[in-house]
Amino acid sequence: MKKILVIEYSQTGQLTTVMDRLLGPLLESGDEFIVHRESLQTIPAAPFPWPFWQFLDTFPETVTGDSPPLQPLRVDEASEFDLIILAYPVWFLSPPPAVTAFLKSDHASRLLRGRPVVTVTACRNMWVMAQERIKTLLLAVGARHCDHVALVDQGSALASFITTPRWMLTGRKNAFWKFPAAGVSASQIHASRRFGQALRQALRTDQEKLARPMLHGLAACTVDTGLASSERVGIRSFRLWAAVLRALGQPGTPLRRVALAFYLFFLIVLILTVVPLSLLLKVALRPFFKQHLTTLKNHLEKPSGSDRSRLPLFDE
């Protein structure tokens, strides 16, 4: 019998639905596997839908990696698990505060040290920098990161630039005008069962003990190098502004609100001018940097990768 610990954070319940589907094959296997699920929750919990200013004002503390207090976990920290699955959404190119707080806790180092960890994210489409941060935090607690699954919102990047904030700020997820519904598509969520099937097969043959991915060949995560480069520039700007905003005061203070409004204006101008220009430049220069971009893509997609070769084996 193998024991699996699932640590998850999901504000609207989208990632919980993904995990319900992904864990299905393990939960259906009788007493072959014990699955213990823990939902992280900060004190106080973040609101949903978000009031506009509160949404923006969460950015500095999220980016600098503050650790707010968490609701106590139910799991006995002396328990030993064969596999740990950490499921998190992305906030401002970073892990959400609840996840950062957990990974920085003594609890995490006791539960995760020396253990294989699979990470799962479901977000708009910019997860690379957050995942790099998660990898650093996992390394710091001595965990062995073995796989990563990334699901992204349906529609183009331009469409989700409208549909995701609309969902976060109003709670409305439906399709409207020419825009698709917000969030990860139902078909992608349905298909995430393949990861549970592959994990079940791997655990049956002790593959979690080996230093190699169990979810390769399943299109687990696909990096768009154009978006990844924008993320790299974005996170630098976020870190700088997060430090400035924090220096101006606590969340909610008037001076900070004025600076936030200015930064929002600056960001929108940047997104509407510099980002399309730099994307155009990148497309023009792509042939000259083909090798470099392929190496970067392979590196960022590690450990599980975007290869699809095993998809027909897990087709349910």
Ligand X SMILES: Cc1cc2nc3c(=O)[nH]c(=O)nc-3n(C[C@H](O)[C@H](O)[C@H](O)COP(=O)(O)O)c2cc1C
Query: Reading across the β-sheet that carries 2-8, which strands appear in turn?
Result: 33-39, 2-8, 83-88, 116-123, 144-152
Q: Smallest gap, in angstroms, from Cβ of residue 123 to ligand X?
A: 3
Q: Does 91 bind ligand X (CB under 6 A)?
A: yes
Q: Hey, what amino acid is at 257?
A: R
- Is residue 188 at the binding interface for ligand X, with CB under 6 A as the rule? no
CA separation, residue 290 to residues 267, 280, 296, 297 (Å): 29, 15, 10, 11
CA dihedral angle for residue 244, residue 249, residue 254, residue 258, rounded to 10 degrees: 0
Contact call for residue 7 and ligand X (CB under 6 A): no
Do the strands 33-39 and 2-8 form a parallel or antiparallel pair, or are they unpaired? parallel
By the rule CB under 6 A, 89 interacts with ligand X: yes
According to the binding rule CB under 6 A, does residue 112 interact with ligand X? no
The torsion angles phi and psi of 73, rounded to 5 degrees, stand at -85, 155
Q: Is 123 in the site for ligand X (CB under 6 A)?
A: yes
Region from 124-132, 240-248, 272-280, 289-297 binding ligand X, contact rule CB under 6 A: 124-132
Angle at 266 between CA 261 and CA 270, to 5 degrees: 145
Q: Supply the minimum distance, in Å, between the C-beta of residue 267 and ligand X.
A: 12
Task: Choose one: 22-30, 84-92, 263-271, 283-291; the region binding ligand X (CB under 6 A).
Answer: 84-92
Q: Closer CB to ligand X, residue 93 or residue 134?
A: 93
Alpha-carbon span 118 to 303, nearest angstrom: 10
Residue of 42, 100, 119, 125 interacting with ligand X (CB under 6 A): 125
Residues engaged in binding ligand X (CB under 6 A): 10-15, 55, 58, 89-93, 122-127, 164, 168
